[in-house]
Amino acid sequence: MALSRRLRVLAYHGIEDPASFAAHLDLLVADWHPVSATEVVADFAGEVALPPNAVWITFDDGHRSVVETALPLLSTRDLPATMFVCPALVEQRLPFWWDVVEAASEQPLRTFKAMADADRRTRVAGLWEHLDRPTRTELSGRVATEAELQRWQDAGLSLGNHTLDHPMLDRCDAAEQERQIVEADAWLDAFVGDDRLRLFAYPNGHATPAANELLGTLGYSLAALFDHRANRRPVERVASLQRPPIISRLRMSDTAAPSYLRSVLHGWRPWLSRASEARHRTVRRLVGAR
């Protein structure tokens, strides 16, 4: 299948370098076809066909920098985008838990990601208690406020569900998975309106069968991963997919060179990344077998 028919979904987080991110957007405007969440959902529903070289821009977590920095750059180019948010962090002015780990622990982040959800929460809460007030204020200030999310909405850009407070869903029991999705869904209904597009992004891309079944029950149109792949077209494939369809996304940092973004969009970097991961898995398996 021609590469031009594959939907690319870029997954950013915060924006650290406005000039670099602006260069990314200029590359997309010049050589690609940025599309909105509405167009992506309609394509998967079989109602329209996306144009060749379609790219959907997404942001995970709800970083304040996305509103402060990315929004003006998107608006001046009239580009659509979607931000996936965690309502508990917004409402309660909580920090991103991984920022707390990086500020207060010498253990690698992957150690915390591998913990059972309750254990991780206990450990992170203990780290938070030992941080000084200026650090707490700085970390909490990285999350967008409700007023800032309203600015995003008022600009015509969409919001999606990223769970209530960004756990590792595959480390949660079934009841907690349901709470994370349902309470975030209710918050978005109240904030956006119950006629919103129901879009979901798995935290860290860790999908679970129970979560996806629940998303289908709640009427979600798409659930997004973080697996560094492009999505094959045409839409006829969707008839055989589970509901909601699980789509792939390409990991991207705003600080990456435009040449790197170009290589990802053309499929070179994702292929190399998957090949490298496969090699590492093989080495680990062989070493573990000794």
Contact 88, 165 (CB under 8 A): yes
pLDDT, position 2: 56
For 290, the token pair is: 């000794």
Give me the residues paired with residue 57 across strands.
Answer: 10
Average pLDDT rounded to a whole number, residues 152-165: 98
Task: List the single range of 54-63, 165-174, 265-274 with lowest mean pLDDT.
Answer: 265-274
Q: pLDDT of 80-134, one tens digit each? A: 999 999 999 999 999 999 999 999 999 999 999 999 999 999 999 999 999 999 9
Query: What homologous superfamily does CATH list for 3-94+143-289?
Result: Glycoside hydrolase/deacetylase (3.20.20.370)
Distance CA 139, CA 38 (A): 33
Distance CA 33, CA 56 (A): 9
Selection from 30, 20, 58 nearest residue 226 by Cα: 58
Q: pLDDT of 77-89, one tens digit each? A: 999 999 999 999 9
Q: pLDDT of 211-262, one tens digit each? A: 999 999 999 999 999 988 888 654 444 444 567 999 999 999 999 999 999 9
Map out the domains of the chain as residue ranges: 3-94+143-289
CB-based contacts of 130, cutoff 8 Å, min separation 6: 104
CB-based contacts of 79, cutoff 8 Å, min separation 6: 25, 28, 29, 34, 57
What is the identity of the amino acid at 46? G
For 210, the token pair is: 């129970």
Residues 269, 55, 212, 184: is their CA dihedral positive or negative? positive
